[in-house]
């Protein structure tokens, strides 16, 4: 029982810290990624104004503030689900309910990601949107797992 409490405490600390570490590490990608801000290379390629850069920063901050609690909840729920599976006889109803909660959190996170991307896109001029599309298409075609 003491081991379980220690594990839960450790997971809670990790769940609280993970989004901050992730954000600071730059793991949110390059370009105009799902979670990140615009990289300096992309800003230069799109010829963004200082006002646009400021708006992107504000959008990213608002998005991050909305995402962090959901990411923490998702991390905790996944840890709880692993603990349910580790029991000697996993409870089917509890596992099913936990799966539904996790699915719901993932869906909400995905909805927020789409909302963020659309909000960012609205800041760009039509010319910048076209250059962004060209850059993204070129990036997907030039390498990667499925495109040698």
According to the model, what pLDDT value does residue 40 have? 84
From residue 148, alpha-carbon distances to 31, 122, 139 in Å are 20, 32, 11
pLDDT at 45 over 50: yes
Domain-embedded: residue 62 = yes
pTM: 0.65
Of 91 and 37, which is predicted with more confidence?
91
Domain, as residue range, for 22: 2-135
Rounded CA-CA distance 61/67 in Å is 10
- In this structure, how many other beta carbons lie within 10 angstroms of the beta carbon of residue 43? 17
Q: What is the domain-level CATH number for residue 100?
A: 1.20.120.1490
According to the model, what pLDDT value does residue 36 have? 53
Q: What is the pLDDT of residues 95-145, one digit of tens each?
A: 999 999 999 999 999 999 999 999 999 999 999 999 888 877 765 544 444
Total domains in the chain come to 1
């Amino acid at each position: 029982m003491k081991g379980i409490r220690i594990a839960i405490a450790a997971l809670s600390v990790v769940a609280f810290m993970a989004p901050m570490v992730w954000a600071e590490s730059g793991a949110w990608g390059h370009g105009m990624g799902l979670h990140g801000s615009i990289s300096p290379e992309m800003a230069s390629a799109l010829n963004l104004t200082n006002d646009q850069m400021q708006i992107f920063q504000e959008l990213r901050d608002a998005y991050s503030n909305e995402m962090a609690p959901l990411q923490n909840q998702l991390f905790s729920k996944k840890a709880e689900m692993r603990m349910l599976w580790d029991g000697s006889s996993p409870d089917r109803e509890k596992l099913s309910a936990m799966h539904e909660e996790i699915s719901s959190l993932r869906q909400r996170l995905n909805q927020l990601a789409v909302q963020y991307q659309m909000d960012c896109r609205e800041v760009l001029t039509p010319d910048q949107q076209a250059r962004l599309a060209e850059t993204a298409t070129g990036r997907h075609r030039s390498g990667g797992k499925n495109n040698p």
